Amino acid sequence: MNTDLGKIVTAVMIDENETDYFVQPARNGQTYRLPKDEAPQVLHIGGQVQGFVYENDHHQLQMTCDHIPTVQIDHYDFGTVVNVRRDLGVFVDIGLPNKDVVVSLDDLPTLKHLWPQPGDRLLIALTVDKHDRIWGKLADEAIFQAIARRPQAKMKNWNVKGTVYRLKMAGSYVLTDDYCLGFIHPSERDQEPRLGSKVSARVIGLSSHGVLNLSLKPRSYEAIGEDAQQILMILKHDPNHELALTDKSDPETIKTILGISKGQFKRAIGHLMKAGLVRQTDGVTKLISDDNGTQDLNK
């Protein structure tokens, strides 16, 4: 087994041709092709050089000095998915000029529609099998725990973005862009996100384990139509959080105040009441609560 693969090694130049140097580490006698345009300086026989060793797409053993990836043996970083082969796995770009690494289908979700797609990101390290093939290895839970920071309680109701790193029956696990761990329960999503996909979520709570509880569903006011949002904004900006209209109001009065028909007004009020945001009483529509914590204390 070639123990140099996927690592940075020091080697000695033993030969050259017009385009490449040929270098050899002292410890195993393997010879690696080093393109001259990637060498840090002009090399002569016996000169030392340090670089990253891998097998390129042409099955040639190669060293690079210009394109040393941050993903290595036991070194984790994000790579970008560039291709998918259903019979093999997904190909991930880690920054090498002529080599993408494969994350095996054995490490991917059973349901192939949940596999990463081009543009998605995976946190991986490298591993080498007994046939000297380099593979991408997904980070496990311990790695994510090690790199995560503890979220703050003030993050509740924040909008966050993150990358889905694990799929389980219990829900979807996310690493946010600022390196907090998050969890999306199946009830807080309309469909299950892919492994490696980018999600935009809102924080709905904080678990005792320091994990953000996230939702992919819109806030109530975001899920309603423009007419309902207009009414909601009027209620929020009124000192008493009231609007002197109800579904019993005169159509002309509604048209004058809001610029919409009575039918539109009734549909909008219906959405707001169903969302638990308003109530009607004594000839007015009154704000009960919203997703930012505003509450009617006189209800």
At 3-57, the pLDDT tens digits run 999 999 999 999 999 999 999 997 778 999 999 999 999 999 999 999 999 999 9
Q: Which domains does the chain have, with CATH numbers?
A: 8-64 (2.40.50.330), 77-139 (2.40.50.140), 143-215 (2.40.50.140), 221-287 (1.10.10.10)
What is the percent of the chain where pLDDT is above 70?
Answer: 94
| pLDDT higher than threshold 60 for residue 291 | no
User: Up-side HSE of residue 206: CA atoms within 13 Å toward CB?
Assistant: 11
| pLDDT higher than threshold 70 for residue 224 | no
Separation of alpha carbons 278 and 261, rounded Å:
19
Q: Is residue 294 very low, low, confident or very high in pLDDT (cuts 50, 70, 90)? A: very low
Mean of pLDDT values over 130-139? 96
Q: Is residue 299 very low, low, confident or very high in pLDDT (cuts 50, 70, 90)? A: very low
Q: Is residue 247 very low, low, confident or very high in pLDDT (cuts 50, 70, 90)? A: confident
Separation of alpha carbons 36 and 55, rounded Å:
17
| pLDDT higher than threshold 80 for residue 219 | no
Written as six digits, the tokens of 267 are: 């549909």
